[in-house]
Amino acid sequence: ILNVEQSPQSLHVQEGDSTNFTCSFPSSNFYALHWYRWETAKSPEALFVMTLNGDEKKKGRISATLNTKEGYSYLYIKGSQPEDSATYLCASPQGTGNQFYFGTGTSLTVIP
Amino acid sequence: GAGVSQSPSNKVTEKGKDVELRCDPISGHTALYWYRQSLGQGLEFLIYFQGNSAPDKSGLPSDRFSAERTGGSVSTLTIQRTQQEDSAVYLCASSLVPVNVRKGVGELFFGEGSRLTVL
């Protein structure tokens, strides 16, 4: 199994701070890189699906970048709010592309 | 509703019993995935279905686990002779196109999960 890895494992920030997390993935035979947000007692929800090297996507205060040659993606949150508290997961298809592996996630807590 | 539906939401069973977990994906979604999250762990890939193709079972942890998808829609995950280490939240997700379609969106839509507790 080729691993999708995320760091840090957890993060506590003050309301208003900006923050970022890292996802690393195998760069060979790249298909796509997904970011999901998983709030407590809810289902994971897709934030971004990224397929092109150099891609940058934005949704409100959240943005993500992708480097497929070196196998990493960054997720940025600008001006964190308490409602941003969640676990942020990245995932990438592996092997034949059928096995869709998730990283262990970054747990973000925004302190009011 | 229009989302992915899973049942039961909670299941408590005794060690050694068989359990069935059901997933009803979004209509028209061809790809269906099962994952589980054990306490303190990340999402573990179990099995993948795509249309009428043979499923990718490479993530199933033992031969006590099996899954089927009838008519390309509803899927059932069966765990035989449950063990305490099977306790987890089992999540089902579907997508319109497979995630390995480079130009496709392929985002996963998740159900709310089935929490299995094996006593």
Determine the pLDDT at residue B105: 58
B37-46: pLDDT as tens digits: 998 888 999 9
For A50, which residue in chain B has the nearest alpha carbon? Answer: B105
| Residue A36 structure tokens | 């999901």
Determine the pLDDT at residue B19: 98
Determine the pLDDT at residue A22: 97
User: d(Cα B19, Cα B21) in Å, to the nearest integer?
Assistant: 7
Interface of B with A in 17-36 (CB under 8 A): 33, 35
For B50, which residue in chain A has the nearest alpha carbon? Answer: A98
A34-77: pLDDT as tens digits: 999 999 889 999 999 998 899 999 999 999 999 999 999 999 99
Which residues face B23 on adjacent strands? Answer: B6, B75
CB contact under 8 A, A99 and B58: yes
Determine the pLDDT at residue A61: 97
| Residue A81 structure tokens | 């709010």
Determine the pLDDT at residue B1: 54
Please name the member of A32, A34, A91 whose beta carbon is closest to the beta carbon of B102.
A32
- What are the Cα distances from residue A59, in Å, to A10, A78, B40? 22, 11, 29
Burial annotation B36-59 (CB, 10 A radius, 16+ → b, else e): bbeeeebbbbbbbbbeeeebbeeb
DSSP string, A81-103: -GGG-EEEEEEEEETTTTEEEEP
For residues A96 and A70, the model is more confident at: A70
Determine the pLDDT at residue B72: 76
Give the residues of chain B that fall short of pLDDT 50.
Answer: none
A15-25: pLDDT as tens digits: 999 999 999 99
A50-60: pLDDT as tens digits: 988 999 999 99
Determine the pLDDT at residue B102: 56
Give A32's contacts in chain B (Cβ within 8 Å): 99-100, 102, 106
